[in-house]
Every structure is written in C-alpha cells, then in structure tokens.
Amino acid sequence: MASPTLMQCLVAVSLLSCVAHAQLSPTFYASSCPNLQSIVRAAMTQAVASEQRMGASLLRLFFHDCFVQGCDGSILLDAGGEKTAGPNLNSVRGFEVIDTIKRNVEAACPGVVSCADILALAARDGTNLLGGPTWSVPLGRRDSTTASASLANSNLPPPTASLGTLISLFGRQGLSPRDMTALSGAHTIGQARCTTFRGRIYGDTDINASFAALRQQTCPRSGGDGNLAPIDVQTPVRFDTAYFTNLLSRRGLFHSDQELFNGGSQDALVRQYSASASLFNADFVAAMIRMGNVGVLTGTAGQIRRNCRVVNS
C-alpha cells in the first residue's frame, strides 16, 4: 500500500492534471478542425449581412447560455425548458444560425467541435462584424446533456433589476462589478421588446422626457408587447460607446441600464467608458473571456452534440 505521503503526491498530481485539462485554449482545434474559425466567420458574415440585428442576438444567446449551468450550450437544447423560461421566451433568437454553422462544421470535422464553442465563436464574430473588437476565443468546451429552466429564471438579470441585484447576479458567476458594467455595454447593439421597457418609459423618473416620449410612440401602456425599439437610440447597429453616453443623459432603455449611472458605484466607470472606446473594448474583451470560462465542461464531461438541439442518443 502506498504511503500517505505518496498518496498525497498522487492526489496532487491528479488535481493538477485536472486543472490543466480544464484550461481552454484558442488553439484547441488547430489540428482536429483547422478551418473552424473561417467556417464560423463565413456563416456569421452572411447572417449579419442578411439581418444586422443577428450580431446582437448571437451575443445575447451566448450570455444567456453562460449564466445558466455555465457556457455549455444548454440553451440550444429544445428539451429541458431553458429556451422557454421567462427571460428567454419570445426573446432569445439565432438558433437557426447556430444550426447552419453546426452543419457546416460537421461537414468539415464531424463529431469534433462542440455547440458551446460554436456559440462562443459566433458571439465574438457577431460583435466584430458590427464594429466591435475581436479576440482569441479560448476553446475546448463540451456540451451539456441537460438544460435548466429554473436556473434561467433565477440567474438571468431582468431588465427591472437594481444595481445591487445586477452586482449580485454577476457575482454569482464570478464576475466583478467592472465586468458587469463592461458586459452591459453589449446593449450598444440590438433591439428590445416593448414589454421589457414599458415600466421604465411610463414609470421611472430618472429618464429623459423626450426620450421617454419617443419610445412611447411605439410602446403603448397596454398592448404591443412585441413592438421593437433599439436599445441604443444613437447607433443601434454599431458596437461603440454610445450606450454609455446615453446613460449620461438618462437615455438608458431598461431600468437596469440606467442603474449603472444613477448615483451609484458604477457612475465613474460609465463616464470613463463613454470617453474612451479603447478602455471599453479592452474591458469588454477581458470580461467576455472571463464569462466564457464560467462552468465549462471539458475532458470527458458532457458530449459533442451532433445536433445542437438534441442530446446524442
């Protein structure tokens, strides 16, 4: 029988091996699927050219995946109720684009690339195609075999959230208040349904009156729940710092947006991001990489789904 000292060494080596194995790497598919990045980029270029909003939709889809069980592709599963949980119902979109990319990737490298990694790359490319930064995406995630409606309902920040709630929900994922504010800058692109901002434009006092009136034109007090409005009133399909500039003039579309600049702990950072695109982009990239590491499955955990919508039989 091994001595306690030897056993401790073996355990330590085993743990180090697990930690090393769990590290994602931008070169994970360098030999097993060398054309992966160009395949994803080509499909995303076509998708965004067809509908600019799709860049924002894929970025949001990745965010909603990572906050529920980690970045494991669980939101892509038709079963399990995550897709239809409160924060996602009639809201998350872009599944068909992921399906297309997955088919293209499977044709080139069957059974090799996870849906979770495809989603991470699509989110990066969607951001970049709308004028945002690009970055090396750490890869090597595997796909979950389960989805969770309950975690979607409890973990995803609602548009009515207070600053304290936002900090708490991001903190639950190991993300700092600075990460939270940088990631919120994703709202510089995309559109929102009337039902998500009605309470703000009719009930909040920390809102620019002309901006509220503008949004009320397409979002009545009742009805029209699905009517869309750009989250960033200035440059709705351009990834830039206008989102933060809007907050300085009380033109945040969601209550949760304006909470970032409302006499609280993030006011100074919002001013800094508004004034410096380079600072915002750098912090956004760092926060995206940190978020992309949340709860990942690696090694032999999970599986590589053949179809992103269903667990392998």
pLDDT digits (tens, 9 = 90+) for 227-268: 999 999 999 999 999 999 999 999 999 999 999 999 999 999
Residue 295 has pLDDT above 70, yes or no: yes
127 labelled as ligand-binding?
no
157 labelled as ligand-binding?
yes
Residue 13 has pLDDT above 50, yes or no: no
Residue 1 has pLDDT above 60, yes or no: no
54: tokens are 């799709």
Q: How confident is the model at residue 6 (pLDDT cuts 50, 70, 90)?
A: very low
The per-residue pLDDT for 74 is: 98
Q: What DSSP state is assigned to residue 158?
A: P
Give the number of other CB atoms < 10 A from CB of residue 143: 26
The per-residue pLDDT for 15 is: 41
Lowest mean pLDDT among 62-66, 88-92, 207-211: 88-92
125 labelled as ligand-binding?
no
- Which tens digits make up the pLDDT trace of 154-173? 999 999 999 999 999 999 99
Distance of CA 250 to the CA centre of its chain: 24
The per-residue pLDDT for 22 is: 56
The pTM for the full model equals 0.92
Q: How confident is the model at residue 23 (pLDDT cuts 50, 70, 90)?
A: confident
The answer to whether the beta carbons of residues 62 and 120 sit under 8 Å apart is yes
99 labelled as ligand-binding?
no
298 labelled as ligand-binding?
no
Residue 19 has pLDDT above 90, yes or no: no
Output the CA torsion sign for 267, 269, 272, 278: negative
Q: Give me the percent of the chain exceeding a pLDDT of 90.
A: 92
Output the CA torsion sign for 160, 248, 123, 197: positive
Mean pLDDT of the chain: 94
Residue 290 has pLDDT above 90, yes or no: yes
Could you give the domains of the chain?
Answer: 35-155 (1.10.520.10), 163-291 (1.10.420.10)
138 labelled as ligand-binding?
no
State residue 8 phi and psi, 5-degree precision. Answer: -60, -40
Cβ within 8 Å of residue 122, ≥6 positions away? 40, 43, 44, 58, 61, 62, 94, 97, 98, 101
Note every long-range contact of 128-134, with CB atoms under 8 Å and residues 24 or more positions apart, other chains counting: 129/44, 129/45, 129/48, 129/55, 130/48, 130/52, 130/55, 130/56, 130/189, 130/237, 130/238, 130/239, 131/238, 131/239, 131/240, 132/189, 132/239, 132/281, 132/284, 133/281, 133/282, 133/284, 133/285
Q: Exactly one of 41, 53, 64, 215 is catalytic; which is it? A: 64
Distance of CA 229 to the CA centre of its chain: 20
68 labelled as ligand-binding?
yes
Residue 35, CB-side half-sphere exposure with 13 Å CA sphere = 11
CA-to-CA separations, 63 to 38, 84, 176, 186, 266, in angstroms, rounded: 22, 16, 15, 10, 21
Q: Is 255 an annotated catalytic residue?
A: no
